[in-house]
Structure 1
Amino acid sequence: MTPSSFTFTLSDKQIEKLKAFLDQKGFEFSTIDHGLFRAKSKGVVVQAYKTGKVLVQGKEALEFSRNVIEPEILQQATIGYEFLIHPEYFKAHVGIDECGKGDLFGPLVIAAVFVDPQTAKDFIEMGIKDSKRISSTRRLNQFALEIKKKTKYALLSLPPLRYNELYEKKFKNLNLLLAWAHAWVYKKLSLELNDSPRVLCDRFAQPWVLQQSFKRIGADQLLEQKTKAESDPAVAAASILARLTFVEELAKLSQVIGLPLPKGASSKAAQLAKDILLRCGKDTLRKVAKIHFKTIQQNFADRAL
C-alpha cells in the first residue's frame, strides 16, 4: 500500500521557499493551530509548523514529496530509505551522547535514550536530529518533551564542583571520566527497563576506553562505538536531552554567580574565568568552571607568580 503521509523537517529558509512554490502553483492557503500555514491542492495537503515540521498528506503525497520536496526543497532523496539503508536504527537499542565536555563553564551532561522499532520511526518522522544542528532552545524544548513522552531515558549531570572533584581525585583524564559516565547512565537506564539492550555510543577515544568501563558493569559485549553516531535516532534523541539539560544548568549557574556564562571555550570565556578568579577566588571559580582546562591552569600559574 502506498503511504499517503510524509513528514519532513525544514529550516525557516526552506519553508519560505516551499511556501513560495505552493503559492506559484495555485495552492489554496489557510491557517492552522500552532502552525504557519496549510496549503491545499488536488490530491495533496501541505501543513507547515513553527517547529520546522512539514506534513504532506493525500493521494498525491508520495508524488509531491518525491517531485517537489526532495529535489526542489531538500535537494536530497530521503523518503522510505532509512529502513533499507539503516535497518539497525529500527532494532531495540540505547543511544548515549554527552554535552559540555568542550565547554569551559557549566556541567558535563550525559543522556541515554531507549528506542524500539516504533519509537525509532517516530523520532525520524519528527525530525529528531543531532542537537548541534538545532539552534533554537525553543525547538530543543519541544523535541525533548516529545522524547520524554515516547520513551524511557536516563540523565547524569555533573555540575562543575562534582566534575572537578571526579577529575582531580579519581580519573585525572577526561576520556576516562566520560567512559565512566556513559556506563553509569546506561546502567541506570537498564535497571529502569529491566533489560540490557544493545547500546550505541559516539567513538570519542580509543575503543578500549569505553570497553573497560562497560566491562565493569557486564555490558561490554553489548557496546557498539562509531564515529558520527548522532545519525542514529536514539543517539540523536540523547544529544537533545543532554544539550537542553546543559543549557538549563548553565543558565542556573549564571544566575547564581550574577554573570552570563558563555558556552564553549573561546578567548572570551577564558577572560571571564580569569576575571572570576581575580574577583571571587578559586573556590567560586570551581563552582562554575572546569578547572583542568589549560586556560584556567595558566591563570592559576600566573596568579602564583
Structure 2
Amino acid sequence: MSNVVHKLTKQQIDQLMSKISFDTTNVSQGMKAKTKYKNTSISVYNSNKVMFQGKDAESIASQLLPNVVPAKKNTAKSSNSQQAIQYNRYNCIGSDEAGSGDYFGPLTVCAAYVSKKNVQILKALGVDDSKRLTDAKIIELAEQLVTFIPHSLLTMNNDKYNEKQQVGWSQVKMKAVLHNEAIKNVTQKIDTEELDYIVIDQFAEAGVYKRYALSELPFNSKTKFETKGESKSIAIAAASIISRYAFVKHMDNLSRSVKMEIPKGASNKVDLTAAKLIERRGIAYLDSISKKHFANRQKAENLVQKKHK
C-alpha cells in the first residue's frame, strides 16, 4: 500500500469534494471528510491536506487532481502536453465545462470547432482563459462566438445531475459522457476531413475518460487531453467561454426567480444562502437547484438547526 499526501487550497478541496461523494459526519477529530474510491481511501483533513491510501494512490490522486498532480510522462494514459503541439496552428475541436465546482446551478459542457483561419479573429475579439474574464466579458464574447463558431452546448440540470449521482455516477463520469456527446454533435456540423485535433480540457486520465464516455470516441487517434487547456488551445478557450456563459445566464435567472443573489462556488457565503432558501422554500426546493452531494447542503441544514435551537 502506498500513501500520497497533497496540500491543497480550499478551492481545490471544494472541487475535489464535488467530484465524488464524501462522508462528512463519521470522521475522526481533525478530519474534514473521508471516502473510498476505486479501492483507494481518501482523507481530507482540516489542515487542507489530502491523503490517498492504496496501491493505486498515485494514479487516483492524478485522476482526481489533474491540475495538482502531474500525470506520469512515461504512460500512454497521461496528458499529451509533453508533445507541445501548437494547437492554434491546426483545425481543432475543443471542449470544456462550467459549474462542476459550484453547489448551485447546472453542469454545462461545450465543444467548439475553431479552424486555423479563425484563430486570429478570436484573438482579436479577446478570447482568453475564461477564469481571467469577468462575467460581463464572457457574455459579450459568447454572444459573438455562437454566431459563427460551430459548437454544441449541453446542460445537465440539477434534477438530472442528482438523479445520476444517486445511482452511482461520479461527476467525472457525467462530464465524460457530456463532453463526448458534445464533441460528436460538433463533428456532425463540420467537414471532418479538415479536422486535425480534438482537444479536451483534462479532468481525468485518458483511460478513465474513455471508459466513462459510454460510447466510442469520435476520431480517437486525433483526441488529446491537456491540463490547463485554455492556455494551449483557443478552441478550448472558446468552448470554456460558451459553457461559462450558459452557466452565468442560468445563475442570473435563478437569482431573479428567488429575488436574492445566488452565489457561485462552494464558499461559506453559499452555505448562508442555502440556509436562507431552506427557511424560505424548504429543503426540496434547495435540492432542485443544487448539487445534493456537496458538503454545503449539510452545512446549510446545520446553520438552520443552530438558529432555531
TM-score (norm 1): 0.65
Larger radius of gyration: 1
Q: Distance in 1 between matches of 2:278 and 2:162?
A: 16
Aligned alpha-carbon RMSD (Å): 2.5
Q: Distance in 2 between matches of 1:93 and 1:215?
A: 23
Quote how far apart the aligned CAs of 1:263 are.
Answer: 0.8
Structure 2 letter corresponding to 1:185: A
- CA change 1:265–1:302 in 2 (3 A) is closer
RCO higher in 1 or 2 (8 Å CA, sep ≥ 6)? 2
Q: Distance in 1 between matches of 2:282 and 2:104?
A: 15
Between stretches 139-148 and 174-183, larger displacement belongs to 139-148
Q: Distance in 2 between matches of 1:300 and 1:194?
A: 52
| Alignment-derived partner of residue 186 in structure 2 | 189
The question of whether the paired residues in 2 share the 8 Å contact of 1:141 and 1:244 is answered with yes
| Alignment-derived partner of residue 273 in structure 2 | 272
Equivalent position SS for 1:290: coil
- CA change 1:285–1:174 in 2 (3 A) is same
Quote how far apart the aligned CAs of 1:142 are.
Answer: 2.5
The one-character-per-residue Cα deviations of 1:150-177 (angstroms, maximum 9, x if unpaired) are 3211101122222212222351x11111
Q: Distance in 2 between matches of 1:218 and 1:158?
A: 20
| Alignment-derived partner of residue 289 in structure 1 | 290
1:108 aligns with 2:107: yes
- CA change 1:272–1:136 in 2 (3 A) is closer
The question of whether the paired residues in 2 share the 8 Å contact of 1:273 and 1:289 is answered with no
Q: Distance in 2 between matches of 1:174 and 1:113?
A: 22
Between stretches 238-247 and 87-96, larger displacement belongs to 87-96
Equivalent position SS for 2:189: helix
Equivalent position SS for 2:254: helix
1:145 aligns with 2:146: no
Structure 2 letter corresponding to 1:256: S
Quote how far apart the aligned CAs of 1:300 are.
Answer: 5.6
Q: Distance in 1 between matches of 2:269 and 2:304?
A: 19
**Structure with more of its chain in helix, by fraction:** 1
Equivalent position SS for 1:149: coil
| Alignment-derived partner of residue 210 in structure 2 | 211
The question of whether the paired residues in 2 share the 8 Å contact of 1:202 and 1:228 is answered with yes
Structure 1 letter corresponding to 2:245: L
Q: Which runs of 4+ in 1 moved over 3 A?
A: 194-197, 297-305
Equivalent position SS for 1:193: coil
The one-character-per-residue Cα deviations of 1:92-113 (angstroms, maximum 9, x if unpaired) are 1100011111111111111111
Structure 2 letter corresponding to 1:283: A
Equivalent position SS for 2:199: strand
1:225 aligns with 2:214: no
Q: Distance in 1 between matches of 2:261 and 2:303?
A: 24
Quote how far apart the aligned CAs of 1:304 are.
Answer: 9.9
1:176 aligns with 2:173: yes
- CA change 1:301–1:194 in 2 (3 A) is farther
Quote how far apart the aligned CAs of 1:127 are.
Answer: 2.3
| Alignment-derived partner of residue 7 in structure 2 | none
Structure 2 letter corresponding to 1:257: V
The question of whether the paired residues in 2 share the 8 Å contact of 1:291 and 1:297 is answered with no
Q: Distance in 1 between matches of 2:296 and 2:163?
A: 18
| Alignment-derived partner of residue 35 in structure 1 | none
Quote how far apart the aligned CAs of 1:214 are.
Answer: 4.7
The one-character-per-residue Cα deviations of 1:112-167 (angstroms, maximum 9, x if unpaired) are 11011111222123321011111241x22321133123321110112222221222
Aligned residues: 219
TM-score (norm 2): 0.64
**Gaps (5+ residues) in structure 1?**
1-84
The one-character-per-residue Cα deviations of 1:165-201 (angstroms, maximum 9, x if unpaired) are 2222351x11111111111111122223263843111
| Alignment-derived partner of residue 261 in structure 2 | 260
Structure 2 letter corresponding to 1:188: N
Quote how far apart the aligned CAs of 1:298 are.
Answer: 5.0
| Alignment-derived partner of residue 155 in structure 1 | 153
The question of whether the paired residues in 1 share the 8 Å contact of 2:96 and 2:239 is answered with yes
